[in-house]
Structure 1
Amino acid sequence: MPTVHFPPTPALPTLHNQPLASAADLDSDSDDGAMNLGNPSGRGARADRLGPTHPLRSLTPKRIAAIAAALLFLIFFFGHSSGGGREGYRSAATETLAPTGKAPNEAAVQLDKLPPSSPQKQQSASSKKCTPPKGQKATSYALMIDAGSTGSRMHLYTFSHCDPDPKALPKLEDEGFFTTKPGLSAYKGKPKEAAESLRGLMQHAFDGVPESERSCTPIAVKATAGLRLLGARESQAILDEVERWLNDEWPFQVVKDGVVVMDGKDEGVYAWITINFLLGLIGPDQPASAGTAAVMDLGGASTQIVFEPIYDPGSADHLAPGDHIYELQFAGADHVLYQHSHLGYGLMQARRAVHNLVAYSYVWQSAPKGTPVEWDELTTKDKIPNPCMFKGETKVVTLDPPGRSEVEVTMVGTGAGFEACRRIMEVMINKDAACDKPPCAFAGVYQPKMSEVFSAGKVWALSYFYDRIAPLGLSSPFSISALRKLTTDVCSGRNDASWARFKKNKEAMDELADRPEYCLDLTFMYSLLSLGYELDEERQVWMGKKVGDVELGWALGAALAMIEGHLTCRAD
């Protein structure tokens, strides 16, 4: 397990800047667009598309049939459907959870106010009290390009260095943000055009960085999901041309190994750096005993967790060896992090898995009724009852479980409620999977128990967690029990008295009206945090898009790590 050094060992340009980047490559404005529902030919291609812990990878037709039987029992036990399907079956919620109240101390943390230990509390370069480290300019710049699947985004950062300690982290003074579409992945076989697509972004950078600072300003390009789909040869051709073009046509310092497809684990760790930097929990003045914040990031295809376990120095317990260990040297301190990216457990993939399971149970139970349904004959005319959707709501979805052809059907919500939906999530999350290296979180993946090694640290939930929960009025921090209550209320449906809490919130009502799978989404999030990661009911969770007007995401951490690389200026 390699140690990751920040500053990195290769000699790079020297500058104590730190770029911050955000705008994760989730494309969360388009729910279905975030999940790749292409149907590769053959079973092998489909298996390759699923990660080793993907909730559908081990679902052979026999296993799906067994699960379908269990699902049928659960669905019928907790409610009978309200029509739909060729014969239909009735469903109504039969169990209602008692209210658990709001999260304790819900207003205790204000996201717009950073703690005194945050680098953002330093003096600005314009202040007479600014004292930069010896040999360091008070102001520096950094450029980070987030090359996402739908477009490329440029972050132009301006930093102040007003703490005389040479190990001190800088203050982010300003962020310029510029975008262009389409993304680099749209230029398959056209690497020169791919590079040229960044010209507008680079012109903004050229205009925004003073001439005297351009040769000392570092730049990196980090590509995410889109380029991975092109294949190694095509994506590398684009990256090589982008790097050549940046070096030949622009005055900035392209950092070594700076134009790359970003590793999934780095994305989570960079987000961890971002939050802990803003909260002042990492840096030269922070003792290891102070603890850091954990990050749980929910994307469309995967979900990531990163935290720094704390073990009693006298205990024999420690992190088991493996790829989940990320040894980080940053800002003069060593951090041993646990990280894992659960491929297939992003929000859109969770929807996909639930729809596949529900549809398979519908097909499986049709034979005993005397009206057997053939999978390959399913069409959008088939209305399949779904307990995770609002009663009567419909949505055309694509189904593609392993071993079956891709088909489209119409899902019809039964309004069976939170408990019925939660039990489907329990099957999908696969908490009881074989655990070769205990303890495991879910799907057989090793993870130390947070209740034992991270009992006091802050837990931050990002991306889709925020996008789905915040509009409904649950403020940060919230308890797991408050999320359960919110989810129960949402799943009760628009005609239930519990929806009174949303009726005066226009944003909430617009969100709920626009997404028939809101119950599914929230139930998955609750199940992931409570069952998957085993956060207890009163554990507090923070969420946000910004902290102190600085956007959260991987890019700030990536930029900070780049600036920590002792950068040097270009000779030319």
Structure 2
Amino acid sequence: MGRISFSCLFPAAWHFSLPSQILSRLLLPPFRQLFIVGLLFFLLGTVYLLLVTGKLPANWITKENHFHRHMARVTDVDATDASNPDLNYGLVVDCGSSGSRIYVYCWPSHNGNPRELLDIRQMRDQNRKSVVMKIKPGISKMAQTPEKASDYIYPLLSFAAEHIPKNKHIETPLYILCTAGMRILPESQQEAILEDLRTDIPVHFNFLFSDSHVEVISGKQEGVYAWIGINFVLGKFNHAHNGDAVVEVNVPGSDQQEALVRKRTAGVLDMGGVSTQIAFEVPKTEEVAKNLLAEFNLGCDAHQTDHVYRVYVSTFLGFGGNAARQRYEERLIENTTTRNKLLGQHVGETAESPLPDPCLPADLQDQIGTPEQKLHVLGTGDFDQCRHRLQGFLKLTNETQTSLSGVFKPPIDYNNSQFYGFSEFYYCMEDVLRMGGDYNTSKYAQAAKSYCATQWKTLKERFDSGLYASHADLHRLQYQCFKSAWMYEVLHSGFSFPTDYKNLKTVFLVYDKEVQWTLGAILFRTRFLPLRDIQQESLKGVHSHWRHSFSFVNNHYLFLVCFFIVLLSIILYMLRLRRIHRRAAQHCSPSSVPWLEEGLGSPTLPINL
């Protein structure tokens, strides 16, 4: 009785003094279950909302959000675990003008998000070295003996087969892509070489290889692949909404136009032995001829615009470093021969009367031309004069917005752009001058001028002492002066880059990775493979539907639903609590016996069983 009257005097503390039976009534179903379920949903919704807004540590994010850890991907140079059954492999053979090189790539299964690309990287051996092999000369040398093309390429494929698990061979795509060296051959000779490869390779190797996997790619394709490769490694395809740039794209073949906010992509300059390419993204407002424009969807879903790109790309056959030197020498021979005939001179016909050549290092003696038409030359090492001579080989016109050979080039916002230079752009700066990386016009010109003017004897002594890059050879030393001047003129006179341009990097490795157009090639050619992985995962039921069907806005709706469930549960619980409290207060008298009527029993009166 004392306990009951104490509760009436102090109602605020009443529920602390109730018997255990009354407390249990406060937590009876369905209110207890509803409260617990609502609280659980509230906690899950909060955690999920924090995940999608990036408020939790990156290592909490699952593989579906692996781009949050993008820098971990691009800096990953660990040895490849070939025993991992989830790894996939791909091969690309770059059949260039001077040699052929095979690249082995690998990637884990796609994460199931159709808006993300495959995480492709170069395979690395136990010493963390890239699995790459190169042979010389170029496959174009098989023009007269096309039946030997498969024998020529056999060592490369054998090398790759040793590094890829045998059970993976049958599902490993193999692409053999030939570039400028093959493009200059007659079509009949090209086809004879390709047909030998199509016929013989499947006999000796079990790779995934079809007739369409071997071809001579166009300069436009090569430029696009180079553009894809560098931007992938740089993480430019991670379209974080960070306000870097607004790029307008529309799906090819669709009238729908969408504006996307994504990172500004980098442009590409690539100079090989035979050709030179330039590629950079242009807005849809810029009119470009179709033959100079590549518009493509790099994603696996054709209905998504996340990875639709509009890239200006132009290739210039004959404007590579070696091809330019050959054209230059042919012009020297032609002009000198004509002049000698007109003036009755014998310049260049013997070593005692050589023809001065400002594009060779000082005092370097060389012979150019064929045995039937040979010319002796002597280097004078004049960088500026060499540049002046080379301007005529650019085939420039007086029309605005044009570049090499008078080809149209869209305007570039040089104050808001970034370019990467590969191959000869890098070799010219690094192999001998040892200044690869950030390009500085004045420093580069001064270093090249100094090199050209140095006596050949001195340069040779430096070479023997190992002062130049390990892969630099005598051929590089002989033609470094010419190629330095050619690169300078192509960049500034041909492509019209201002001499104070600060955003050009000449590179061979990016994040310790060798970036070649072959990476872009396999990314583009395997872009539909994620659909296979997504379908397989759907059949297994691994990925739940809501993970990919809800948009970011819907995630907020999910949070609000959870919140209102919890709020409703609390309100109902409080109403129940208030009703019990009132009922107890109404019967707070000594004569009341509602405890027996409620079936709970009185704490002060005995209950007869």
Measure, in 1, the Cα distance between the counterparts of 2:169 and 2:334: 59
Measure, in 2, the Cα distance between the counterparts of 1:494 and 1:381: 19
Residue by residue over 1:323-376, the C-alpha shift from the partner in whole angstroms, topping out at 9 and shown as x without a partner, is 1111122134111111111122211232234344455555566689xx42389x
Aligned partner of 1:414 in structure 2 is 380
AA in 1 matched with 2:442: S
Q: 2:176–2:214: 8 Å Cα contact kept in structure 1?
A: yes
Q: Secondary structure at the match of 1:257?
A: helix
Whether 1:120 aligns to 2:86 is no
Aligned partner of 2:188 in structure 1 is 233
Aligned partner of 2:482 in structure 1 is 520
Whether 1:426 aligns to 2:391 is yes
Measure, in 1, the Cα distance between the counterparts of 2:212 and 2:493: 39
Aligned partner of 2:359 in structure 1 is 388
Measure, in 2, the Cα distance between the counterparts of 1:542 and 1:395: 33
**Alpha-carbon shift at residue 277 of structure 1 (Å):** 0.8
Aligned partner of 1:216 in structure 2 is 171
**Alpha-carbon shift at residue 494 of structure 1 (Å):** 4.5
Stretches of structure 1 that go unaligned for 5 or more consecutive residues are: 1-113, 128-136, 400-404
Measure, in 2, the Cα distance between the counterparts of 1:361 and 1:555: 40
Whether 1:320 aligns to 2:282 is no
Measure, in 2, the Cα distance between the counterparts of 1:533 and 1:290: 24
Measure, in 2, the Cα distance between the counterparts of 1:382 and 1:125: 58
The alignment's C-alpha RMSD in Å is 4.1
**Alpha-carbon shift at residue 249 of structure 1 (Å):** 4.7
Pair 188,142 (structure 1): closer, same or farther in 2 beyond 3 Å? same
**Alpha-carbon shift at residue 198 of structure 1 (Å):** 3.9
Whether 1:559 aligns to 2:514 is no
Whose relative contact order is higher, 1 or 2, with alpha carbons under 8 Å and at least 6 apart? 1
Pair 249,346 (structure 1): closer, same or farther in 2 beyond 3 Å? closer
Q: Secondary structure at the match of 1:412?
A: strand
Whether 1:159 aligns to 2:107 is yes
**Alpha-carbon shift at residue 406 of structure 1 (Å):** 6.8
Aligned partner of 1:40 in structure 2 is none
**Alpha-carbon shift at residue 529 of structure 1 (Å):** 1.0
Measure, in 1, the Cα distance between the counterparts of 2:93 and 2:191: 17
* Larger mean Cα displacement after TM superposition, 343-352 or 300-309: 343-352
Measure, in 1, the Cα distance between the counterparts of 2:329 and 2:266: 34
Whether 1:270 aligns to 2:222 is no
Measure, in 1, the Cα distance between the counterparts of 2:499 and 2:441: 5
Match of 1:398 among 369, 375, 395: 369
Q: Structure 2 matches for 1:78-477, cutoff 5 A?
A: 117=70, 120-121=73-74, 138-149=86-97, 151-161=99-109, 163-169=111-117, 170-172=119-121, 174-175=123-124, 176-180=131-135, 184-188=139-143, 193-228=148-183, 231-255=186-210, 257-283=212-238, 285=240, 288=247, 289-310=262-283, 318-331=286-299, 332-358=306-332, 362=336, 371-373=343-345, 378=349, 382-398=353-369, 407-415=373-381, 417-431=382-396, 433=397, 435=399, 438-450=400-412, 452=413, 455-471=415-431, 472-477=433-438
Q: Secondary structure at the match of 2:227?
A: helix
Stretches of structure 2 that go unaligned for 5 or more consecutive residues are: 1-66, 125-130, 248-261, 300-305, 534-609
Q: Structure 2 matches for 1:530-541, cutoff 5 A?
A: 530-540=492-502, 541=504
Q: 1:461–1:542: 8 Å Cα contact kept in structure 2?
A: yes
Pair 291,255 (structure 1): closer, same or farther in 2 beyond 3 Å? farther
Residue by residue over 1:492-517, the C-alpha shift from the partner in whole angstroms, topping out at 9 and shown as x without a partner, is 4349x9xxx99998117987997344
Aligned partner of 2:508 in structure 1 is 545
Residue by residue over 1:523-571, the C-alpha shift from the partner in whole angstroms, topping out at 9 and shown as x without a partner, is 22111111111111221321121112321222111111122133879xx
Measure, in 2, the Cα distance between the counterparts of 1:245 and 1:512: 37
Aligned partner of 1:49 in structure 2 is none
Q: Secondary structure at the match of 2:291?
A: coil
Q: 2:349–2:376: 8 Å Cα contact kept in structure 1?
A: no
Residue by residue over 1:102-132, the C-alpha shift from the partner in whole angstroms, topping out at 9 and shown as x without a partner, is xxxxxxxxxxxx99745824989999xxxxx
Measure, in 1, the Cα distance between the counterparts of 2:106 and 2:296: 25
* Larger mean Cα displacement after TM superposition, 387-396 or 539-548: 387-396
Q: Secondary structure at the match of 1:348?
A: helix
Q: 2:77–2:512: 8 Å Cα contact kept in structure 1?
A: no
Q: Secondary structure at the match of 2:363?
A: coil
Pair 251,393 (structure 1): closer, same or farther in 2 beyond 3 Å? closer
Pair 273,383 (structure 1): closer, same or farther in 2 beyond 3 Å? same
Measure, in 1, the Cα distance between the counterparts of 2:401 and 2:122: 43
Pair 115,527 (structure 1): closer, same or farther in 2 beyond 3 Å? farther
Measure, in 1, the Cα distance between the counterparts of 2:508 and 2:78: 26
Q: 2:436–2:507: 8 Å Cα contact kept in structure 1?
A: no
Q: 2:362–2:453: 8 Å Cα contact kept in structure 1?
A: no
Pair 547,342 (structure 1): closer, same or farther in 2 beyond 3 Å? same
Q: Secondary structure at the match of 1:534?
A: coil
Q: 2:390–2:486: 8 Å Cα contact kept in structure 1?
A: yes
Whether 1:493 aligns to 2:458 is no
* Larger mean Cα displacement after TM superposition, 357-366 or 547-556: 357-366
* Larger mean Cα displacement after TM superposition, 548-557 or 148-157: 148-157
Measure, in 1, the Cα distance between the counterparts of 2:420 and 2:68: 16
**Alpha-carbon shift at residue 279 of structure 1 (Å):** 0.4
Measure, in 2, the Cα distance between the counterparts of 1:512 and 1:201: 27
* Larger mean Cα displacement after TM superposition, 504-513 or 236-245: 504-513
Measure, in 2, the Cα distance between the counterparts of 1:275 and 1:373: 53
**Alpha-carbon shift at residue 256 of structure 1 (Å):** 6.0
AA in 1 matched with 2:419: V
Q: 2:179–2:222: 8 Å Cα contact kept in structure 1?
A: no
Aligned partner of 2:556 in structure 1 is none
Identity of aligned residues (%): 24
**Alpha-carbon shift at residue 470 of structure 1 (Å):** 0.8
AA in 1 matched with 2:291: D
Residue by residue over 1:267-307, the C-alpha shift from the partner in whole angstroms, topping out at 9 and shown as x without a partner, is 12111111111101125557745211111111222211111
AA in 2 matched with 1:340: S
Q: 1:303–1:341: 8 Å Cα contact kept in structure 2?
A: yes
AA in 1 matched with 2:369: T
AA in 2 matched with 1:329: N
Measure, in 1, the Cα distance between the counterparts of 2:151 and 2:464: 49
Measure, in 2, the Cα distance between the counterparts of 1:241 and 1:514: 34
AA in 2 matched with 1:412: L
- How many corresponding residue pairs? 427
Measure, in 2, the Cα distance between the counterparts of 1:534 and 1:198: 40
Measure, in 2, the Cα distance between the counterparts of 1:277 and 1:549: 14
Q: Secondary structure at the match of 2:206?
A: coil
AA in 2 matched with 1:245: D
AA in 2 matched with 1:551: E
AA in 1 matched with 2:517: W
Q: Secondary structure at the match of 2:523?
A: helix
**Alpha-carbon shift at residue 204 of structure 1 (Å):** 3.8
AA in 2 matched with 1:384: L
